[in-house]
Amino acid sequence: MFKKFSKEDVHSRSNIKSSAQRGLKGNFVSQFEALEPVIDTIIPKKSQAILIKCEDKIQLYLIDNEVVLFQHFDDLIPTLKVVHKYPQCFPRVQVDRGAIKFVLSGANIMCPGLTSAGADLPEENLEEGSIVTIYAEGKETALAVGKLLMSTNDIKSINKGHGIELLHYLGDGLWNHTE
């Protein structure tokens, strides 16, 4: 999504209403329930969020000059900087070492990369369409954020084709985007 992303893709920026900001926080927490204790540190009550509308219906939310999350249709997706700060709050999957190279160049993640020896999927089932943070074999920090194209049970049983649509990864346009 952010493979090619630069200042030219930014259409408008505006401050959002505090009520809209409250709503945003609510939505964000309902999507990631583990966020509840930290949501006030991610989005402080008194802060002013800035909404940046971009090409392809992408909306970035900026707090203190840092992109905290972005919205694509109804999905609220945290940026990697936030994932690195609060790694325990998001569902995680792990890919094997061979896949890192491709993930870092923006490829969708194929099922075998999630089921092989070095990879790891959570025990409980994650539904199709949920947002996951992607880790790698032998690494401690997340390297990408993606959206499940099939539920994790299906990934385990079918083990073929695209498993995760990659949304945001280290070194993409959003990662390098500075205000």
Partner 1 sequence: MTEVLPKSTLYCGVCSYPPEYCEFTATFKRCKEWLLSNHQEVYEKLYSDEALANQTSTLSLEKEQKMEQELEKKQKKEEAKQERELQKKLSSKVTIKRIERNKRKHIISISGLEVFNIDMKKLSKTFASKFATGATVTKNAEKKEEILVQGDVSNEAKEYIEKLLEEKGLNEVKVEQIDDKKKKKALEAEAEAAAKAGKK
One of 10, 16, 63, 104 touching partner 1 (CB under 8 A): 104
Q: Which stretch binds partner 1 (CB under 8 A): 66-74, 94-102, 121-129, 156-164?
A: 94-102
Residue with tokens 């896949």: 99
Q: x/- binding map, residues 44-83, to partner 1, per CB under 8 A?
A: ----------------------------------------
CB of 14 to partner 1, least distance (A): 18
Residue pair 149/127 in contact by the 8 Å Cβ criterion: no
Q: x/- binding map, residues 2-41, to partner 1, per CB under 8 A?
A: ----------------------------------xxx--x
**The pairing of beta strand 144-148 with beta strand 162-169:** antiparallel
98 versus 112: smaller Cβ distance to partner 1: 98
- Between residue 112 and residue 151, which ones bind partner 1 under the rule CB under 8 A? 117-118, 137-141, 143
Instruction: Spell out the residues 6+ positions from residue 98 whose beta carbon is closer than 8 angstroms to its own.
Output: 113, 118
E strand intervals along the chain: 10-15, 49-54, 58-63, 66-72, 75-78, 92-95, 109-110, 131-136, 144-148, 162-169
Buried b vs exposed e over 59-91: b needs ≥16 C-beta within 10 Å? Answer: bbbbbeeebbbbbbeeebbbbbebbeebeebbe
99 binds partner 1 (CB under 8 A): no
- Residues near partner 1 (CB under 8 A) are 36-38, 41, 84-89, 96-98, 100-101, 104, 117-118, 137-141, 143, 170-171, 175-176
